[in-house]
Amino acid sequence: MVKTMTQLMTEDGIRCDGRRLDELRNISIKVGVLKNADGSAYIEFGKNKILAGVFGPRDVHPKHMANPDSGILRCRYHMSPFSVTERKNPAPSRREIEISKVIKEALQPSVILKDYPRTVIDVFIEVLQADGGSRCAALDAASVALADAGIPMRDLVSACAAGKVADRIVLDVNNEEDQEGQADMPVALMPNLGKVTLLQLDGMLKPEEFKTCMQTALVGCKRVYEIQRKALMEKYFQNGEQ
């Protein structure tokens, strides 16, 4: 299906997948989906299908990586060979290594590591099917999986992108918009503490657009937060506020 720029949005601001400018894709989160992991979550975010599993706090191997004053957090973001159009080599790409790092740094302020010196908390993320915004969706699942593992946390981390498509700022950029749009800005927020823990941008924004785009993303993060909270409630309180 060849898509030209003009098809990314109608004149009425309806996007190529039928959404309005400020509308999220469908999101569903399931908590505790894995038996081996200490905590886990599965998210579907648009066409993203992502698993997150958490182990720890546990002993660090190799030992010289341990910190005597604090626990450490490690993160691996990995894409399955079948998750993208062209089969992906299973060895981690430089892109995956960078995303693993920014996700780790986005989760880190939410996790209370001081109480677990010499240990590690491992967050493993597997992207089974990738769509636009996979790093945000991955973060959303990972934060819920950390909570499911019983790790003490200051806040959840809720992530969502915004972007610029056909000269307008839109919430939650999908794959086509990411490929052919003008800007993509993934954002992660600790909603209760009001801190942005991930911010990236690829594209071209005027200074005013930069502000609007970030505000739009933050609104999205807060909506994602409600979905994360509900998913955790559903697992931990039978009568989750459905």
Partner 1 sequence: MNSQILDQLKRDKILDLLKTGKRIDGRTLDEQRQLIIETGVIPKANGSARVKLGNTEIITGVKIQLDKPFPDLGDKGILICTAEILPLADPNAEPGPPNEEVIELARVVDRGIRETEMIDLHQLVLIENKSVIGMFIDSSVIDSGGNLFDACSYASVAGILSCTVPKWEVKDEVPTLVEGVTSKPPIKTLPVSVTMARIGEYIIVDPTKDEESCMDARITITTNSDGNICAVQKGGSDGFTPEQLVQCSETALTVGRKIRKQFEQLM
- When asked if residue 129 is in the footprint of partner 1 (CB under 8 A), the reply is yes
Q: What is the DSSP letter of 155?
A: S
* Shortest Å distance, C-beta 241 to partner 1: 28
CB under 8 A: which stretch of 4-12, 30-38, 166-174, 234-242 binds partner 1? Answer: 30-38
- Phi, psi values for residue 189, rounded to 5°: -130, 140
- Which of 100, 157, 89, 168 shows the shortest CA–CA distance to 134? 100
Q: How far apart are CA 186 and CA 217, in angstroms?
A: 8
Q: Evaluate whether 136 touches 77 at the Cβ level (below 8 Å).
A: no
Q: Does 44 bind partner 1 (CB under 8 A)?
A: no
- State which of residues 121, 126, 149, 232 lies at the interface with partner 1 (CB under 8 A): 126
Nearer CB in complex with partner 1: 167/204: 204
Task: Give the rounded distance of the alpha carbon of 110 from its chain centre.
Answer: 14
Measured at the alpha carbon of residue 33, what is the angle toward residues 31 and 37, in degrees to the nearest 5?
Answer: 100
Q: How would DSSP label each residue in 52-79?
A: EEEEEEEE-SSGGG-BTTB-EEEEEEEE
Give the residue with the Cβ less far from partner 1, 10 or 179. Answer: 179
Considering the complex, what minimum distance in angstroms separates the CB of residue 90 from partner 1?
6
Can you tell me which of 13, 80, 168, 219 binds partner 1, judged by CB under 8 A?
A: 80
| Pick 125 or 227: Cβ nearer partner 1 | 125
Rounded to whole angstroms, how far apart are CA atoms 74 and 109? 13
With CB under 8 A as the contact rule, the residue among 105, 119, 233, 234 that binds partner 1 is 105
- Name the DSSP class of 126: E
**Binding residue (CB under 8 A) for partner 1 from 50, 124, 132, 165:** 124
β 158-165/119-129 pair status = unpaired
84 binds partner 1 (CB under 8 A): yes
User: Which of 3-11, 165-173, 192-200, 233-241 is the region at the interface with partner 1 (rule: CB under 8 A)?
Assistant: 192-200
| Residue 164 found at the interface with partner 1 (CB under 8 A) | no
Interatomic CA distance for residues 183 and 48, integer angstroms: 20
Chain positions contacting partner 1, by CB under 8 A: 34-37, 40, 47, 49, 51-53, 55, 58, 67, 69-70, 76, 78, 80-87, 90-92, 94-95, 97-98, 100-102, 105-106, 108-109, 122, 124-126, 128-130, 185, 190, 193-207, 210-211, 214-215, 218
